[in-house]
Structure 1
Amino acid sequence: MVNLKRQIQQAATKHEELIRILAETDHAAPSLNKQKTLIANLEIDIAASDARVAAEEVRRLTELKDHEQYRDSIVRRLAYRATGKREAFEAQAHKEETEYFETLQREHREKETNKALKARLAAAQLAAQALEIQVAHHNEIQQELDQLFEAIFGGRTPGFPEEDERERLLELAVEAHKKASGRVEDESTAVRLLSDAQEHFRSSKIAMKEALSASNRHFFFNGVIADMIEHSALFRAQMEAMSARNLVLDAQFRSSLVETLPDVVISQDSAVKGNPFSSWVTDTVFQEEIKASAARVEQASAVLDGFMIEAAARLVAVKADFARRERELRDAWCALHKARETAFESLARRPLNASGKEI
């Protein structure tokens, strides 16, 4: 106990300095968050302003062209004068000139607004950079204070059962947070793998449609090419279904709650038909087998869709649990820090004499 008090009194000056710096920089993190929000809003405003500036520039050039046509067109002026419509010409010319200068003013105002927004953005970015330095410094000081406390209070601390209990609760919170993080990682990976499996089943279903289409053409043309297309499509469908099944197995490895996918067996033609020995009956039987295979692919795909819905729901749940564990971890850290701060200050106020006993 005496050694603990001596350690605390020796660290008292350092502790006061660290606490002072933390108090001075406490504002930095919330201020930085506000500054980042301001920067994001300014960037949105600037993008909109850039678009308006571009639109006003196009409008100004159009108005300038109309204005110059009336201002510089001697032929048009003479034509109006010859028909006794000089006043109409002057009125139209004045109208074009007015519209041009109004457009010019709007463009100027928008450019000035744009310039002001960009100046505000530059200032906000500079302020954010300064705050980032303060936040980094604050975090370093906080880490230094944590290390100071850990050196003094780490492990069992005689005379401070509350600090020991807070330390135990923090260890439990750290372990729970770690497990929750692992569950989020596993369920996220499972969702990604199942999503990839769905893509393979979509490709398998497309290939089955191609095979069935080729089989129908074979009835009418009895062609070797149709048979080859059918055979290739069936092979691709089987490969895609196998890839989907393997991905589901990988997902099961990450999450034991992912169920087993039904086997998908796609009938494969043993030989290319379209030869003199091929019969209509044989072709009809095999086409029915293709339809049955397509139905099995559809069934397995529907089962997989159900797996995906369940996995997505689990991911939402484990993310919510992870967020709760994060809050509990922060609370446990704060509680331990407060207990250590209280213990530190209570012992720091008790002076020791030269022999190491309390005065």
Structure 2
Amino acid sequence: MSLPLGKVIAEYEPRHTELVHAISDVEYASEALTALYSKIAELQTQVQAAKARFKKASERVKKREKQAEDSEKSFKFSFLRRSNTTKGKEKQNAGTQIQTPAYLEAVQEESKERNRQTELEEALASAQNERATLQEKVKECDALKIKLDALYDLIFNGPTPGFPEEDQLEQQVSAAKAVYDRVHANFNTEKQAYANIYRAEKIIGECRYKLKDALQCASTVMFASGHSVQEKETACLESAHDLALQVMSIIQEARRLSPDIRPLENLSIIQEVPSRAESGSADDFYAKLKSASSEVSRARTQLSTERTNYAGRAAVTKSVVEGAEQTLAQYKDELRSLRKGIFENVAEKSRQQSPLRTNGMHGIQEDDEDHYIEAPPPSYDYEPSSTFVSTLSPSTLIIPNKFVRQLPTPYSDDTSSPVSSSSHIWPASPASPTASIRRIRPLPRPPGT
């Protein structure tokens, strides 16, 4: 028999509170990371622009410096022609420090652009470090949400009596997840098929280069025979044969993933490796090689077209997957928010419906062990009346014994009793009238007295 919803929620309330507080501490990271991505992109653009401005400023400084040096050389030449004295040499040394206003302005501009570039690079580095921190926070938040969803599934999974909106939203989440799983599996298939086509295209390109080398060797042998050239030709043809076999195997695997891929035409290099011994003449052998090379070139063109088409299909499928993922995330957020509200409301009502009960024997307030069991009716608890207790207050107790003194009752607050504690009461007779004292039957005398 399943437990009531309130009892289950009360059992998991501490864990729920812990997860909710932990999520609230890191939930800001997702939006902050999105904003930081935009900031980083903007800073990268600004850094590139600052580098370009600094490069122009540096070129301007070099240009002004060259102009200043040319002007200085012209000044030195005219000055040395006028004076060859020591004083003229001192002026010559002083002339080396001449700097034009245009040069100084260019240097200042370069320094300013350098400082601006440094500031932007530091800001970019700081933003990138902050990005790493926020990414860790986002991962932590996602992990906590997964744990919270698992807790909610443990409590609310299946029909929840009294909360039809939760059941409806739960079905929507299940449907959205089914759609996401289907399109994601389709995307993985398309991606794997694209990877196979891309790999086959690269291998068929290598096969084409091997056939080109074999054609070059065959043409060389036609004009100048050589054993080493024929060995290289044979090695190239065998390599081309092996590569063509790999291509056919990869394409067959890709077509099993996606039947829309067109099959390749039959390649003669796969059927047999061309041989000089089987050819009638060198011209026939060269023609076979050329025909095989043309077939491989056409196959490479076909694979290139297939790769381009599948790149577009993969992009479309990826966008569909992203849309399904966003829809699923939206439904999950709504379901999580709804379940959180239900959880907190039921927990609050459970606390209000389980007040502290009073122990009738000891007058101690204690929490009920199971607050889902109803308390007994109030008539079961005995509460003595204060008025009745006051009317039963006993009077002073007097024991008629000569060896025992009068004992006042501890319940009496009367300090002005007419009977002194130091006197002994000796009854004259059982019928002796005493108006103010209640007589009690005397104790029996001992035998022989």
* TM-score bracket, shorter-length normalisation: 0.7 to 0.9
- Mapping of residues 171-250 of structure 1, within 5 Å: 171-221=174-224, 224=227, 227-250=230-253
Q: For residue 86 of structure 1, what is the aligned residue in structure 2? A: none
Q: For residue 321 of structure 2, what is the aligned residue in structure 1? A: 322
* CA distance 1:137–1:268, change in 2 (3 Å): closer
CA RMSD of aligned residues (A): 4.2
Which string of whole-angstrom CA distances, capped at 9 and with x for unpartnered residues, describes residues 283-304 of structure 1? Answer: 3333333333234323433443
Q: Aligned partners of 1:288 and 1:128: how far apart in 2? A: 62
Do the aligned residues in 2 keep the contact of 1:181 with 1:322 (CA within 8 Å)? yes
Which string of whole-angstrom CA distances, capped at 9 and with x for unpartnered residues, describes residues 10-65 of structure 1? Answer: 66687577657756765432222212321332244234434544654565466457
Matched AA of 1:8: I
Question: Does 2:352 correspond to 1:336?
Answer: no
Question: Does 2:368 correspond to 1:356?
Answer: no
Q: Aligned partners of 1:269 and 1:20: how far apart in 2? A: 75
Q: Decide which structure has greater helix share.
A: 1
- Within the candidate set 105, 108, 113, 2:108 is matched to 105
Do the aligned residues in 2 keep the contact of 1:63 with 1:96 (CA within 8 Å)? no
* CA distance 1:270–1:78, change in 2 (3 Å): closer
Greater mean alpha carbon deviation, residues 29-38 or residues 301-310: 301-310
Q: Aligned partners of 1:136 and 1:202: how far apart in 2? A: 43
Which string of whole-angstrom CA distances, capped at 9 and with x for unpartnered residues, describes residues 172-207 of structure 1? Answer: 433432343333222212212211211222222233
Q: Aligned partners of 1:202 and 1:313: how far apart in 2? A: 22
Which string of whole-angstrom CA distances, capped at 9 and with x for unpartnered residues, describes residues 124-178 of structure 1? Answer: 4576567557646644654454344233213443333432343344334334323
Q: Cα distance, 1:224 vs. partner? A: 4.9
Matched AA of 1:331: Q
* CA distance 1:284–1:324, change in 2 (3 Å): same
Matched AA of 1:268: V
Q: For residue 158 of structure 1, what is the aligned residue in structure 2? A: 161
Matched AA of 1:322: V
* CA distance 1:324–1:55, change in 2 (3 Å): closer
Q: Cα distance, 1:333 vs. partner? A: 1.1
Q: For residue 265 of structure 2, what is the aligned residue in structure 1? A: 262
Q: For residue 303 of structure 2, what is the aligned residue in structure 1? A: 304
- Mapping of residues 55-74 of structure 1, within 5 Å: 56-57=57-58, 59-60=60-61, 63-64=64-65, 67=68
Do the aligned residues in 2 keep the contact of 1:231 with 1:272 (CA within 8 Å)? no
Q: Aligned partners of 2:250 and 2:374: how far apart in 1? A: 69
Q: Cα distance, 1:269 vs. partner? A: 4.2
* CA distance 1:12–1:97, change in 2 (3 Å): same
- Mapping of residues 26-41 of structure 1, within 5 Å: 26-41=27-42
Percent identity for Structure 1 against Structure 2: 23
Q: Cα distance, 1:253 vs. partner? A: 4.4
Matched AA of 1:188: K
Matched AA of 1:336: L
The number of residue pairs the alignment matches comes to: 345
* CA distance 1:358–1:176, change in 2 (3 Å): farther
User: Secondary structure at the residue paired with 1:191?
Assistant: helix
* CA distance 1:201–1:352, change in 2 (3 Å): same
Q: For residue 8 of structure 1, what is the aligned residue in structure 2? A: 9
Q: Cα distance, 1:110 vs. partner? A: 1.6
Larger Rg: 2
Q: Aligned partners of 1:287 and 1:69: how far apart in 2? A: 68
Q: For residue 89 of structure 1, what is the aligned residue in structure 2? A: none
Greater mean alpha carbon deviation, residues 127-136 or residues 98-107: 127-136
Matched AA of 1:7: V
Give TM-score scaled by structure 1 length: 0.74
User: Secondary structure at the residue paired with 2:372?
Assistant: coil
- Mapping of residues 113-128 of structure 1, within 5 Å: 113-121=116-124, 124=127, 128=131
Q: Cα distance, 1:102 vs. partner? A: 0.8
Matched AA of 1:347: V
* CA distance 1:76–1:283, change in 2 (3 Å): closer
Q: Aligned partners of 2:104 and 2:174: how far apart in 1? A: 72
Q: Aligned partners of 1:131 and 1:226: how far apart in 2? A: 62
Give TM-score scaled by structure 2 length: 0.62
* CA distance 1:247–1:80, change in 2 (3 Å): farther
Q: Aligned partners of 2:122 and 2:298: how far apart in 1? A: 61
Do the aligned residues in 2 keep the contact of 1:39 with 1:124 (CA within 8 Å)? yes
Which string of whole-angstrom CA distances, capped at 9 and with x for unpartnered residues, describes residues 68-92 of structure 1? Answer: 676699842525758xxxxxxxxx9
Q: Aligned partners of 1:21 and 1:247: how far apart in 2? A: 49
Q: Cα distance, 1:4 vs. partner? A: 0.7
- Structure 2 gap segments, 5+ residues each: 84-94, 356-370, 376-449
* CA distance 1:68–1:265, change in 2 (3 Å): closer
